[in-house]
Structure 1
Amino acid sequence: MRHPIERRLLAGHLGLVYLFLYGPILVLIVLSFNKSGLPTAWTGFSLEWYGRMLRNQAILSSVGNTLIVASVSTLIATSIGTLLALGIDRLRPSALLEGIVFVPMIIPDIVLAIALLSFFTLLNVTLGLHSIILSHAVFNIAFVCAVVRTRLRHFDKSIIEASIDLGASEFRTFRRITLPVIFPGVLAGALLAFTLSVDEFIIAYFTSGAGSASTTFPMQIYAMIRFGVTPEINAVATFVLGFSFLLILLSQRLNRGVTP
């Protein structure tokens, strides 16, 4: 058993670490309610900056683009990632195969962004929302596959064999047995992919092309912050933080039953 003084020192050290990690985020959230137009001087509580954010047409347009990109890319990544996880699960375990599948998760975003831009240029593909959607789908497939595979590791394969032995086709077995069992993992992977797509900036920046028609929400924030940090930007960042936290929390709750 640790000495009381040692426990206090550890608790204090842990508190300082949390303060270092989350202190700036808390300051940002507080300043988003600042009445003053100054980014740091507190003059009173106000929701004015959230109102301005909701009336800013550039922000609303970028939010619409982001929702389109995130929704379509999540649908593509979830479909392909789930099928990929099912295919890998049927094969003999291979470290090389898993390494190839999960490469997009470990390589830097800037490298993947340059590779995708080079690929689109090689094929003479015009950049726009469609190129961002495809790029985000490539990026998210590995994450969906990883989450679904976690669910499959605790899947009793004997019920599939029993279903086929009783005369059910493979498609009916998948629709009535396999998919319902792994669905929490599939949904958790989809929510994770959606969250990553909403927050992703580097890949979208490289593959968006010119013009505001393909400007996503993170790109709009980057364009705004180049002129300095304002309470309106703090409000935008607080909104994104809350939305991302809500999706991650929902994903974790849905995926709680993955491990016994």
Structure 2
Amino acid sequence: MKKKKIFSQAVLITILGAALVIVLIPIFWAISMSFDATTIDVVPNPPRFIPKEFSVFNYKYALEAIPIARYYINTFLLTLINTAISVFTAMACGYAFSKGKFPCKGILFLMVLAVMMIPFEVRMIPLFLQYRDWNMLDTWWPLILGSFAWAYGIFLARQFIDSIPDSLRESASIDGAGEWYIFLKIILPLCGPVIATLVIFQVVNQWNNFLWPLVVVSNPKKQVISVGLAMFNASETARYLGPRLAVSVLGAIPLMIVYLFLQKYIVQSVMLSGVKE
């Protein structure tokens, strides 16, 4: 049995290692070629993984061609604002649906679940028309207001808070604590894992958000990095392939750093994202 277990683990490690290599090869190639001066016009064929002529020209060209610093600032601010709003409101609504007692609670929660089942593309045109009537197009408001109702975050928060014993809330209530005190001082400190999960999900989603900013924001100075890089790759100034690789690397660096330093919490978030009974 022990030999069989060792063999199965070795097979699993081999398969995962091969999958890791397959995933990392394109990333390593893109980073390497972004520092190769010979990739300005053409990509070498057959591909190579070591720069033939090491140069930072591609990065200099990319930084001069697009205001990437502005895109970084815009994306960072929107990610920070939306993550704070969406996580807090998701936890508050999850607490209400889990421990609160109010009319039609079950029906309202089913409506939240229904929102999760409707693709964003179906809701995009009505939302666009709504924000147009409110004169909010070409501003950040359409990108922020939606964070007040994060259906998946509410669902996940409610599932986690269900596992917290009701006796804690009842004891605090008997001692005279109000709902906000119970939520902020008792419930939230016990919800560290689910809060970390929601934060990671939102940071990744907000940084990669593309379609909605493309639709509602037209001013390049207000645009996020995902749209800005796509506009650069589609523009006439992107005729050189090397700078396009450099731009792609610059856009991916923040998420690489997040995954590097928060990999333990990311693994925990994947495990926690399952439905808890």
* TM-score, normalization by structure 2: 0.72
Q: Does 1:125 find its partner at 2:136? A: yes
Q: Which residue of 2 aligns with 1:220?
A: 228
Q: Which residue of 1 aligns with 2:197?
A: 188
CA, structure 1 residues 207+75, in 2 after alignment: closer, same or farther (shift >3 Å)?
A: same
Counterpart CA distance in 2 for 1:197 and 1:207 is: 15
Q: CA deviation at 1:218?
A: 0.9
CA, structure 1 residues 150+13, in 2 after alignment: closer, same or farther (shift >3 Å)?
A: same
Q: Which amino acid is 2:188 matched to?
A: L
Counterpart CA distance in 1 for 2:72 and 2:41 is: 25
Q: Which amino acid is 1:242 matched to?
A: I
Q: Does 1:40 find its partner at 2:43? A: yes
Q: Which residue of 1 aligns with 2:85?
A: 76
Q: Which residue of 2 aligns with 1:173?
A: 182
Counterpart CA distance in 2 for 1:102 and 1:47 is: 49
CA, structure 1 residues 52+155, in 2 after alignment: closer, same or farther (shift >3 Å)?
A: farther
The match for 2:258 among 244, 247, 251 is: 247
SS at match of 1:70: helix
Residues 83, 202 of structure 2: 8 Å contact kept: yes
Q: Which residue of 2 aligns with 1:157?
A: 166
CA, structure 1 residues 87+200, in 2 after alignment: closer, same or farther (shift >3 Å)?
A: same
Residues 33, 245 of structure 2: 8 Å contact kept: yes
Residues 110, 202 of structure 1: 8 Å contact kept: no
Counterpart CA distance in 2 for 1:228 and 1:118 is: 36
CA, structure 1 residues 38+94, in 2 after alignment: closer, same or farther (shift >3 Å)?
A: farther
Q: Which residue of 2 aligns with 1:256?
A: 268
Q: Which amino acid is 1:224 matched to?
A: F
Q: CA deviation at 1:84?
A: 1.7
SS at match of 1:256: helix
- Percent identical among aligned pairs is 17
Q: CA deviation at 1:199?
A: 0.9
Q: Which residue of 1 aligns with 2:249?
A: 238
Unaligned runs of 5+ in 1: none
Residues 90, 154 of structure 2: 8 Å contact kept: yes
SS at match of 1:167: coil
Across the two proteins, how many residue pairs are aligned to each other?
Answer: 254
SS at match of 2:250: helix
Q: Which moved more, 1:32-41 or 1:176-185?
A: 32-41
Q: Which amino acid is 2:251 matched to?
A: V
Q: Report runs of 4+ in structure 1 exceeding 6 Å deviation.
A: 10-16, 91-96
Counterpart CA distance in 1 for 2:42 and 2:96 is: 52
Counterpart CA distance in 1 for 2:116 and 2:139 is: 24
Q: Does 1:211 find its partner at 2:219? A: yes
Residues 35, 46 of structure 1: 8 Å contact kept: yes
CA, structure 1 residues 240+211, in 2 after alignment: closer, same or farther (shift >3 Å)?
A: closer
What is the RMSD of the two structures over their aligned residues, measured on CA atoms? 3.7
